């Protein structure tokens, strides 16, 4: 045993990355948006900048009804719950939001969590245990991996969106398939591509497995009423568990799980992230409930979102940039390497456009990307400016 090894030696690689970013003159991990001007603009280094990487799909962060709901809740219920629902009890808003989400999805049950991340941790760590099997899409979000790891279940990855690879895994499980949870996302957050849910439903029914779909990025984006990819494909009733977040289309923070399985209510007694995390503050619950009403009553927001997505994707494609396979509100430009991604990201900032720089290990297949996420609140002129800015960089 090497007793001279320091507790902090493990950070050597991170320190090297930090040094490289600092040497570039602008570290993407330390960007400060000094002032938020609207749902689509902010000030960075004193300059008005288009926010093209916010996941604010419906542009509801400055919606007057949402703001007023939060303001009224702060006035009447205070700033926070100061504890978990198991210890301090539920506020009436918590219960109301769970009921409204269950009604929205047409399911029997709903649980809400303080973040989307803890929703995945909380559900998966309680639903699974050692001896259970998980078939997890290789490009799934970190929270899905962490929830599975926390559960102690046996995790088997399958190639991204590869139905044949998934079936091979199911076939190898044999009788264990009845204790297997297939995990995928509706729309993936890097390239904006969608899971082949119809084929996955067929496989889960064929082998007697269960299907868990994370619709974090597809809530408010897909489906006749905005419920996500499962609704878009008419598969809502075939999905065992749907999870999502309030931090994208609903412009708040928090997460949820809906299901028709009665056992979801028992998860409250077994989920450590639920039991030991302070419940969402009443103002956040209030703005989320107001945003859900906006989502349901204003389908034109979704129509505008898709019009903007088509404009940006088509414009960037015309520049011969390497994009994802599908038009969606997530538009990612694949770059040659980390260095070109950083240089391109800095160039865009200088032109007044903020995007997300995605590099390994956060990116799929080890590639580097500059990712945009379109909002219904972006104007045609703003999207034209984003396209023009990308024309000035090299992929």
Kindly report, as residue ranges, where domains of CATH 3.90.1150.10 are found in the chain.
22-51+299-390
Which has the closest alpha carbon to 250: 227, 277, 273?
Answer: 227
List the beta strands (DSSP E) in 93-216: 109-113, 133-137, 154-158, 180-185, 210-214
Point out which residues pair with 272 in neighbouring strands.
Answer: none
pLDDT value of position 26: 75
Tokens of 59: 């542009």
Gap between the Cα atoms of 61 and 42, Å rounded: 13
Residue that the structure tokens 């001279």 belong to = 4
pLDDT value of position 98: 98
CATH of 22-51+299-390 among 3.90.1150.10, 3.30.990.10, 1.10.10.10, 3.90.1010.10: 3.90.1150.10
Apex 138 CA angle, 137 and 141, nearest 5: 80
Asked whether the CA dihedral 129, 130, 133, 138 is positive or negative, the reply is positive
State the Rg of the chain over Cα. Answer: 21
Kindly report, as residue ranges, where domains of CATH 3.40.640.10 are found in the chain.
64-297
Gap between the Cα atoms of 45 and 34, Å rounded: 7
Gap between the Cα atoms of 51 and 38, Å rounded: 9
- Supply the pTM of this predicted model: 0.95
Tokens of 28: 């993407």
* SS3 assignment, position 66: helix
User: Which residues lie closer than 8 Å to 270 by C-beta, 6 or more apart?
Assistant: 126
The pLDDT tens digits along the chain (395 residues) read: 556 688 999 888 888 878 877 777 777 778 999 999 999 999 999 999 999 999 999 999 999 999 999 999 999 999 999 999 999 999 999 999 999 999 999 999 999 999 999 999 999 999 999 999 999 999 999 999 999 999 999 999 999 999 999 999 999 999 999 999 999 999 999 999 999 999 999 999 999 999 999 999 999 999 999 999 999 999 999 999 999 999 999 999 999 999 999 999 999 999 999 999 999 999 999 999 999 999 999 999 999 999 999 999 999 999 999 999 999 999 999 998 888 999 999 999 999 999 999 988 777 777 899 999 999 999 999 999 999 999 998 65
Check if the beta carbon of residue 340 is closer than 8 Å to that of residue 395. Answer: yes
Check if the beta carbon of residue 267 is closer than 8 Å to that of residue 126. Answer: yes
pLDDT value of position 2: 56
The second-level CATH assignment, the architecture, of 64-297 is: 3-Layer(aba) Sandwich (3.40)
Cα 41 to Cα 47, 319, 355: the distances in Å are 10, 24, 12
Pairing of strands 210-214, 241-245: parallel
């Amino acid at each position: 045993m090497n007793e001279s090894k320091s507790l902090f030696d493990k950070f050597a690689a991170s320190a090297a990355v930090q040094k490289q970013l600092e040497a570039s003159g602008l570290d993407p991990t330390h960007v400060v948006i000094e002032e938020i001007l609207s749902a689509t603009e902010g000030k960075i280094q004193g300059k008005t900048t288009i926010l093209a990487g916010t996941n604010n799909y419906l542009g509801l962060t400055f919606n007057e009804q949402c703001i007023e709901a939060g303001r009224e809740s702060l006035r009447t219920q205070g700033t926070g719950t100061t504890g978990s629902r198991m210890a301090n009890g539920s506020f009436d808003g918590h219960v109301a939001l769970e009921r409204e989400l269950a009604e929205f999805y047409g399911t029997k049950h709903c649980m809400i969590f303080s973040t989307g991340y803890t929703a995945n941790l909380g559900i998966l760590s309680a639903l699974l245990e050692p001896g259970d099997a998980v078939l997890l899409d290789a490009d799934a979000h970190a929270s899905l991996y962490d929830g599975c790891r926390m559960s102690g279940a046996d995790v088997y990855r399958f190639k991204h969106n590869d139905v044949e690879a998934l079936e091979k895994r199911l076939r190898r499980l044999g009788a264990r398939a009845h204790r297997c949870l297939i995990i995928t996302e509706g729309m993936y957050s890097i390239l904006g591509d969608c899971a082949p849910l119809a084929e996955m439903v067929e496989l889960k029914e064929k082998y007697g497995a269960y299907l868990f779909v994370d619709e974090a990025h597809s809530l408010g984006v897909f489906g006749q009423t905005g419920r996500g990819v499962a609704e878009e494909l008419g598969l809502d009733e075939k999905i065992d568990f749907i999870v999502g977040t309030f931090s994208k289309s609903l412009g708040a923070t928090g997460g949820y799980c809906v299901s028709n399985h009665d056992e979801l209510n028992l998860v409250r007694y077994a989920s450590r992230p639920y039991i030991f995390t302070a419940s969402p503050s009443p103002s956040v619950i209030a703005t989320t409930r107001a945003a859900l009403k906006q989502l349901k009553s204003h389908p034109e927001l979704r129509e505008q979102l898709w019009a903007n997505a088509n404009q940006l994707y088509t414009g960037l494609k015309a520049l011969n940039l390497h994009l994802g396979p599908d038009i969606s509100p997530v538009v990612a430009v694949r770059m040659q390497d980390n260095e070109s991604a950083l240089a391109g990201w800095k160039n865009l900032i200088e032109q007044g456009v903020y995007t997300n720089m995605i590099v390994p290990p956060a990116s799929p297949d080890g590639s580097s990307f500059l990712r945009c996420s379109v909002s219904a609140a972006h104007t045609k002129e703003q999207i034209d400016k984003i396209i023009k800015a990308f024309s000035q960089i090299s992929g």
